[in-house]
Amino acid sequence: MLRIGNLPLPVGGGMEQLRGRAARVLGVRPGALGELEIVRQSIDARNKRDVHYVYTVEVSMPDEAALLRTAPKGRVTLVERTPYTFPAVTRRSVTPPVVVGMGPAGLFAALLLARNGLPCVILERGRDIDRRTLDVGDFWSTGVLDEASNVQFGEGGAGAFSDGKLTTGTHDARISAVLDTLVEAGAPADVKYSHRPHVGTDVLRTVVKAIRRELAALGCDIRFGHKLTGLTVSGGCLAGVEVEGSQGESYLLAANALILAPGHSARDTFAMLREAGVPMERKGFAVGVRLEHRQRDISLSQYGPAWAQLPPSDYKLACHLPGGRSVFTFCVCPGGQVVAAASRQGGVVTNGMSHRARDGENINGGLLVGVGPEDFPGEDVLAGVRFQEQWEAAAFRLGGGSFRAPAQRVEDFLQGRPSEGPGMVAPTYRPGVVWTDLSPCLPGYVGEALAQSLPLLDRKLHGFASPDGILTGVETRSSSPVRILRDAGCQSALRGLYPCGEGAGYAGGIVSAAVDGIRVAEAVATQ
């Protein structure tokens, strides 16, 4: 198979034009090309007067070696795809593996095991995605929170109420298996080649249901509303799990292999593990705010006059300040909304979400400052949890105690004065915002770092520090505040316990969590 790179295509160009350009590089007629597959698509906006797409494609051709010899050097390469293969199963135990959590890590761990003859018992404290969507909608409308069914807990995990972003900084053969599975389950085909792929929260929910149907068809026992509450141990090995059922009943489930994928907000689970003596360590994460702009302003800044003909733009920005702090954007949601993402009473948490169409008026992204164990109060392994709770509670109080979020215009934030209302940008957060001064709900050094960073980031993206931009606080759930320690075989010191995914401290997004789920499934299958 021949891979052809750096194929420019004008905005509005189609597949026939792309085939023609690929054929020209190879020196053949377009009709002589075999099936063409897009490998990568990006937008080149360096020259605002000539914004265009850039493609990498693959084609199968007779006598590829000869074509390679005559092709322009550096533009064409010979590639051989090696599909992902799950290892041979050697597990002999008749006790089914138990998976806790139906976020991407838990879903993919269970799916790969079930596809290879090891159906699992799956415990999810939250509800199925349809019921969960109703519960979340009620929370956003009324401010009444269900602690078991919300943006953090339930089928699909926290990613189900996000942009469904599939970018990852990892390079792993398992990524292709993840993307192939998502497309088979209903995700758009472009997630396999887009420079910044996304599914969208609306489509992601249908994908999650399709994966659940496959799990059930393969013999998995899926239990919604069932929460892990304890572990039973025999001879230093896991013997079972204690569970609270959907009706409040408690029961013991035999288990010698537990894939623990609880998500980054499972604070009661972290506390249970600490009491059980499971080795964990404090871990750095990031805190800050959600920053909203009008989408058209950011797209115009990124693409120039061509912006209206292109998909809504996003951004990825970072800067390192003289004091040593890093500030960066996170989970940018073009055409999206800021969402209430609390999972406990008494704390305001923000996140971002977009539908597949990304057709909302605003773009939002996390503007975050890195924090580490040295910033947390005390030496306890859950000190990072207490740090999160402290600032979430402060935001709750500042918002009036009803899950309304404190908000401030960028201009007012930089001038150190409270805001009295919005400018040209209308806030999207529900149940609503309270205009105020954000400083009481941010650590002093975080507020200072954000103020220092805004003018610097505006130099990279004009309009980023626009006076009417809206800062909504507080964002604290960028990643897990702990890491549940495991060895090279993905096992805890408690044998039979397999910490997994973002909540366990081994991933940072949908794809990396799913990849880690597959990695842990391999370990369980070959134990």
Q: Length of the chain, please?
A: 527
Please state, in angstroms and rounded to a whole number, the distance separating the CA atoms of residues 199 and 186.
Answer: 9
The number of C-alpha atoms within 13 Å of 132 and in the hemisphere containing its C-beta is 30
Q: How far is CA 460 from the centre of its chain?
A: 24
Report the percentage of the chain scoring pLDDT > 90: 93
What is the per-residue pLDDT across 235-252, written as a single tens digit (0 to 9) for each? 999 999 999 999 999 999
The burial class, CB within 10 Å (0-12 / 13-18 / 19+), for 156 is buried
Residues forming a β-bridge with 231: 241
Please state, in angstroms and rounded to a whole number, the distance separating the CA atoms of residues 311 and 294.
Answer: 14
What is the per-residue pLDDT across 94-120, written as a single tens digit (0 to 9) for each? 999 999 999 999 999 999 999 999 999
pLDDT in the model for residue 82 = 86
Q: Phi, psi at residue 154, to the nearest 5°?
A: 135, 175
Domains parsed from the chain with CATH numbers: 2-78 (3.30.70.2700), 98-281+483-525 (3.50.50.60), 284-475 (no CATH)
What is the per-residue pLDDT across 144-171, written as a single tens digit (0 to 9) for each? 999 999 999 999 999 999 999 998 777 7
Report the percentage of the chain scoring pLDDT > 70: 100
pLDDT in the model for residue 167 = 83
Is the whole model's pTM more than 0.75, yes or no?
Answer: yes
pLDDT in the model for residue 9 = 97
pLDDT in the model for residue 4 = 96
The pLDDT of 178-185, averaged and rounded, is: 97
Residues forming a β-bridge with 482: 282
Question: Residue 13 region, left (φ>0) first, then alpha (ψ -120 to 50), else beta?
Answer: beta
pLDDT in the model for residue 74 = 85
What is the per-residue pLDDT across 350-394, written as a single tens digit (0 to 9) for each? 999 999 999 999 999 999 999 999 999 888 999 999 999 999 999
Question: Exposure pattern of 108-145 as b/e (b: 16+ CB <10 Å)?
Answer: bbbbbbbebebbbbbbbbbbbbebbbebbeebbeebeb
The rounded mean pLDDT for the chain is 96
| CB atoms inside a 10 Å sphere around CB 147 | 14
The number of C-alpha atoms within 13 Å of 114 and in the hemisphere containing its C-beta is 25
The burial class, CB within 10 Å (0-12 / 13-18 / 19+), for 16 is exposed
